[in-house]
Amino acid sequence: MSFTFKQLKILEAVAKHRSYTLAAKHLHLTQPAVSMQMKQLEELVGLPLFERLGKQVGLTEAGEELLHYAESIHEHMREAREVLQEFKGLKRGKLHLTMASTANYFAPQLIAAFRHEFPDVHINLAVTNRSGLLHAMEHNLTDMAIMGQPPKGHGLNGIPFMDNPLVVIASPNHFLAKENKILLKDLAGEAFIVREPDSGTRMAAERFFAEHQLELIAGMVMNRSEAIKQAVMAELGLGIVSLHTIEMELALRRLVVLHVEHFPIMRQWYIVHRQGKRFAAIPEAFKNFAIEQGASLISLPRHLPRD
């Protein structure tokens, strides 16, 4: 079996656009050329790689498996080109960075400081949820990620570089807003606006409540911290969010941090990458920069409740 880089590139384009015609347009090829290459690829593999889904083209199980390897091959080729370019003495480079949506509240400051030192670097930034982060690293689509603690068993290395306190937030009109000391059990009957089940914030909050023999009641589920803040401001319930996400709302007095015993839940932000990943110079420089200077560059709001 001997397929070409060109065929794998076309496979990726067809999978992305779900259409031979759109893939051909994206690659500046003719539609018959794309169809012929994919037919030849199927003959080489000996299995159908595509199936018709109405007017769109989808991948079979074999196609999905081959796509996984195609993405990995092209990412390794990209890394090889960048490393070889650096051997030539070039000072510029690329950084593919993926981050949790919550990290988007502080990461631009970190990136801006890094760009100040490396002005010619090109940064490709993607913001997604925890599932998207794991997918990007599993398929080698990113150099590294900024996220909460990575799960075990995924072949990932995680290096903590900054505190990530989780706090309880409420509307200023909530009956607990002016309390100076709130027992954790007093929240047991309160409805919380929570993130999706596989969110790191939600899992940490549920684990925290369970450790204190209490249950976190999920009144509503939102897939973004911004949506949780809006719901809490609308007095639909309480929320548990990263302190990094609420600086503006605290300054404008649209939200308050409740002074709950045992809070904040102290977590960490991590730089995460695949085990054994070989970095080009720029990604390596950013990883070291974040670990060494991240905590000193980014400040937390002053409204941290005391235990």
Could you report the per-residue pLDDT of 231-282, keeping only the tens digit for each? 999 999 999 999 988 988 998 999 999 999 999 999 999 999 998 888 888 8
Bridge partners (DSSP) of residue 89 are none
Q: How many domains does the chain have?
A: 3
The torsion of the CA quartet 95, 97, 103, 107, rounded to 10 degrees, works out to 10
177, 53: one domain: no
149, 113: one domain: yes
Residue type present at position 165: P
10 Å CB burial of residue 169 (0-12, 13-18, 19+) is buried
177, 249: one domain: yes
**Residue that finishes a domain, picked among 25, 51, 71:** 71
* pLDDT average, residue stretch 295-303: 73
* 245 in any annotated domain: yes
Residue 83, C-beta contacts closer than 8 angstroms, at least 6 positions apart:
278, 280
Stronger pLDDT, 194 or 301, i.e. the higher one: 194
Global pTM reads 0.65
Computed over every residue of the chain, the mean pLDDT equals: 87
* 304 in any annotated domain: no
188, 261: one domain: yes
The torsion of the CA quartet 122, 80, 84, 116, rounded to 10 degrees, works out to 20
219, 137: one domain: no
Compute the distance between CA of residue 122 and CA of residue 115 in angstroms, rounded to an integer: 9
* pLDDT average, residue stretch 87-91: 53
* Sign of the torsion angle spanned by Cα atoms 142, 147, 149, 151: negative
* pLDDT average, residue stretch 110-131: 89
Structure tokens at 15: 């999978």
Strand 191-194 relative to strand 238-242: parallel, antiparallel, unpaired?
A: parallel
* 307 in any annotated domain: no
* Sign of the torsion angle spanned by Cα atoms 96, 10, 27, 18: negative
Identify the pLDDT of residue 306. Answer: 41
124, 182: one domain: no
208, 169: one domain: yes
* 121 in any annotated domain: yes
Compute the distance between CA of residue 192 and CA of residue 202 in angstroms, rounded to an integer: 10
147, 286: one domain: yes
Q: Is the pLDDT of residue 72 over 70?
A: yes
Whichever domain contains 14, its CATH number is 1.10.10.10
Nearest to 113 by CA among 290, 232, 306: 290
* Sign of the torsion angle spanned by Cα atoms 50, 52, 53, 56: positive
Question: What DSSP designation does 223 have?
Answer: S
* Sign of the torsion angle spanned by Cα atoms 36, 39, 44, 45: positive
Identify the pLDDT of residue 110. Answer: 92
43, 170: one domain: no
Stronger pLDDT, 82 or 219, i.e. the higher one: 219
Which range (41-45, 133-137, 150-154) has the least confidence? Answer: 150-154
154, 274: one domain: yes
Query: Phi, psi at residue 269, to the nearest 5°?
Result: -90, 140
Residue type present at position 216: L
Whichever domain contains 143, its CATH number is 3.40.190.10
20, 10: one domain: yes
Structure tokens at 38: 């994919």
* 177 in any annotated domain: yes
Q: Is the pLDDT of residue 302 over 70?
A: no
Which range (78-82, 218-222, 223-227) has the least confidence? Answer: 78-82
Residue 213, C-beta contacts closer than 8 angstroms, at least 6 positions apart:
none
Confidence tier at 305 by pLDDT (50, 70, 90): very low
* pLDDT average, residue stretch 111-126: 89
Structure tokens at 263: 């809070």
Q: Is the pLDDT of residue 97 over 90?
A: yes
Q: What is the widest separation between alpha-carbon atoms in the chain?
A: 71
* 306 in any annotated domain: no
* pLDDT average, residue stretch 196-222: 89
State pLDDT tens for residues 74-88. 888 887 777 676 655
127, 260: one domain: no
**How many percent of the chain have pLDDT more than 70?**
94
* 302 in any annotated domain: no
For residue 39, give its domain range: 5-71
Identify the pLDDT of residue 296. Answer: 84
* 251 in any annotated domain: yes
Nearest to 243 by CA among 261, 268, 222: 268
Identify the pLDDT of residue 87. Answer: 54
Confidence tier at 303 by pLDDT (50, 70, 90): low
